[in-house]
Structure formats: C-alpha cells, structure tokens
Amino acid sequence: MNENSSPVLSLVIPCYNEEEVLPESINQLTLVTNKLIKKGKISPKSKLLFVNDGSRDRTWEIIEEAAQQNPLVRGLKLSRNVGHQNALLAGLNEARNYSDCVISVDADLQDDLSIIEEFIDKYDEGFDIVYGVRRSRTTDTFFKRSTAQGFYRLMNVMGVNVVYNHADYRLMSKRTLEHLNEYKEVNLFLRGLVPLIGFKSTNVYYDRHERFAGESKYPLKKMLAFAFDGITSFSVTPIRLITSVGFVLFAFSVLIGLYTIFSKIMGNTTTGWSSLMLSIWFIGGIQLVALGLIGEYIGKIYKEVKARPKYIVEKLTYHSEELPKLQKELMSVR
Ligand code: UDP
Ligand code: MG
C-alpha cells in the first residue's frame, strides 16, 4: 500500500486519576501504534491523545512528560472533572481536526489493543463505525457482569438501541465525528448516539482483560446513575409505563367501587377500612413515583435549555496553530 494513502489514526484516551496505569498504557499504546506505522497500515502522522479529566493525582504531569519525550503523545487538559463521556467527547472533537479516523479506548488496558489492526482493516474496507464487542466477561467480577448484563437488557426493553456488550472501545471516521458533533444534547450517552448516526458499521470481537492497575472509576453509584441517564436521555418508555399503570389502576378502582357498594348493601361496611387504607397508600405511592419521573425529564429539559458547554479545554501539549497546516496536508493526501 502507498504510504501516503494510509489513514491518520488518533487514539483518544480519557484519564481520571490513572497515575498507576498510565506509564504502562503509554508504553503499550506506543508499541501498537509504531507497529502499525511500520506496517504501513496507518500514517506516520498518527497520534495518541490523552485527555486529563480533572485528575487529582499526577496524571497530567505524566502526560506532559510523555508529550515532551514521545512524538506520538499529545495531551489535553480539561479544567475540571466532567465525567468519562464528556472527557471522551472533548478528545474526539480535538482529534478529528487532524485525523481520518479516531479510536476511543480506556486508559486501564482492559480492552485488547491487538484488535486495533482489525479496526483499521474494517475502516479500509469502508466501514465508518467499528464497534469493539466483548466476547465474554469472565474477567469481570460476578457483580459487575450481572449488573452490566441487566443494563443491556433494560436498555433493550426500554427501546434504546445499543450494541450488546460494547462499551466505548470503537473506531469512528472523521465524517462520523463531524456528525456526532451535530447532536447538541448535554446529557451525553455516546453508546446510544453513535448508532443513531446510521453510517455503515460492523463489530470486532475481543476478550476483556482485568484492569492493569488502579481501581474502577465506576463504582455502583456512578454505574446506576449512568444507566438511568442512558434510559431517560433516549426513551420515553418510562412515561408511557406510568400512563399504562394509571389505566390499570383506574380499572381496578372501578372494581373496588363495585365491591364497596356490594358490601354496603350486604351491611359489612366495617371490613372496608383495611382496603381503604391500602388504596390510599398505594395510589399515593404511585403518584409520587410518577411525579418523580416527570421531574427527572423536566430536569433534563432544564439542562438542555441552558445548553452549557460540556467541557472546557485548559491546556494542550502542542500548539493549536499547527492544526490548519496539518489539515491542509491531510486534504492533499486524501
Ligand atoms: N474516566 C474519566 N472520567 C471519569 C471516570 C472515568 O475520564 O470521571 C476514564 C477512566 O480513566 C478510564 C475510563 O474512563 O480510562 C473508564 O473508566 P473505568 O475503567 O474506571 O471504568 P470500568 O472499566 O470499570 O467500567
Ligand atoms: Mg475499566
């Protein structure tokens, strides 16, 4: 293959308090990238872009040091912690300025880097989106495995289209990223958004490793919040469910009414007390749930209406002025 025609690839790696794994991640990612450059699969202009998501440890120092010594490495520092999804988007938006395709990957080396070559092959075949899909979850704890599987099932029931067992390890072409940026929503759930873009996509399968070092930045609380966000950002099924429950309750209360009149005629009214108490509590509870749920959507609307910036870039380890030049070079290559 002619070297000029090989695509410029960027790997985007969001990092939050990853000082324990980062040096090893940088090593391994550099090895993989250099191998692909040597093979002529990707352009020598390919880069690794590390996004520091407001880490409180030495993560940014490690990135800055690496950027000075390693020509592949670039760093982007966000002004504060904005969460995995927003940090990833920040990296994707930066990298798309100078790349033909971008792969997002976690800093913890859980995703098998050897399939990056397959990602590129699929891109060369004309796929705009390539999803990395976990073949099995044997390395995850039982708890993580079952909660994650429950999550995918729930998403499906709620009518949200997500790729089963795919996290955020994926390749996207430049034009996919450009369109991704047209989705202006603030409640970001990339796994739900990317399939909506609709370009030609395919899956690549891999086995997930254990975290190389450090601990998961997604404790149960964050995971539940993430799942809940995913559902309420994409689906109105919960609201419809509540409406159906309302109808069922209405039918039920008609029956209760008939029963009450019947008991009154028969003269057994004292027994009505328990059913009355029960109904009051039951309906009260349902109403609260419904109100809470509606509140959740109103909260989302409130956030969207404000349209606040999703992240703020504080620093780059390179000059953004070199971007227009790089872009021109890219245009002449493709
Ligand atoms: N991450 C981030 N911001 C956060 C939380 C996590 O950028 O607020 C990054 C983290 O550094 C890692 C990736 O997101 O590269 C996935 O996090 P983690 O591996 O802890 O999640 P898990 O694999 O346990 O689901
Ligand atoms: Mg992980």
245 and 99 within one domain: no
Length of the chain, in residues: 334
For ligand 1, atom 14, the nearest C-alpha belongs to: 84
For the chain, the average pLDDT equals 86
290 and 199 within one domain: no
171 and 252 within one domain: no
Mean pLDDT of 25-49: 97
Measured between alpha carbons, how far is 294 from 70 in angstroms, rounded to an integer? 51
Substitution site in 218, 222, 229, 311 for ligand 1 pocket (most atoms within 8 Å of beta carbon)? 218
285 and 195 within one domain: no
Q: How many domains does the chain have?
A: 2
Q: By the 8 A CB rule, do 91 and 164 touch? A: no
325 and 274 within one domain: no
Question: What is the Cα 101 distance to its own chain's centre?
Answer: 18
pTM: 0.81
**pLDDT(107) > 50:** yes
230 and 199 within one domain: yes
Measured between alpha carbons, how far is 221 from 257 in angstroms, rounded to an integer? 43
For residue 214, the enclosing domain spans: 3-234+310-333
The pLDDT tens digits of the residues spanning 318-330 come to 876 566 565 566 5
Instruction: Choose among 139, 214, 204, 193: nearest CA to 166.
Output: 204
User: Could you tell me which residues come within 8 angstroms of residue 269 by beta carbon, excluding any fewer than 6 positions away?
Assistant: 263
The pLDDT tens digits of the residues spanning 237-274 come to 787 777 778 778 777 777 877 777 777 787 766 666 66
Ligand nearest to the CA of 21: 1
243 and 208 within one domain: no
Closest ligand 1 atom, residue 167 Cα:
25
326 and 278 within one domain: no
The pLDDT tens digits of the residues spanning 78-101 come to 999 999 999 999 999 999 999 999
Tell me which residues have their CB closer than 6 angstroms to ligand 1: 14-16, 18, 53, 81, 83-84, 87, 106-108, 110, 216-218
CA angle 142, 193, 41 (to 5 degrees): 85
**In degrees to the nearest 10, what's the CA dihedral of 220, 221, 222, 225?**
120
198 and 249 within one domain: no
**In degrees to the nearest 10, what's the CA dihedral of 132, 136, 138, 143?**
80
Instruction: Choose among 139, 149, 116, 15: nearest CA to 73.
Output: 15
**pLDDT(28) > 80:** yes
Measured between alpha carbons, how far is 314 from 15 in angstroms, rounded to an integer? 15
HEC string of 255-293 equals HHHHHHHHHHHHCCHHHHHHHHHHHHHHHHHHHHHHHHH
Q: What is the pLDDT of residue 2?
A: 43
244 and 161 within one domain: no
The pLDDT tens digits of the residues spanning 281-313 come to 778 778 878 888 888 888 888 788 877 778 888
**Helix, strand or coil for residue 75?**
strand
Mean pLDDT of 23-40: 97
245 and 107 within one domain: no
Domain CATH number, residue 26 = 3.90.550.10
Q: What is the pLDDT of residue 3?
A: 44
Q: What is the pLDDT of residue 296?
A: 82
321 and 263 within one domain: no
**Helix, strand or coil for residue 68?**
helix
Ligand nearest to the CA of 190: 1
The neighbourhood of ligand 2, an ion, using CB within 5 A, equals 106, 108, 110
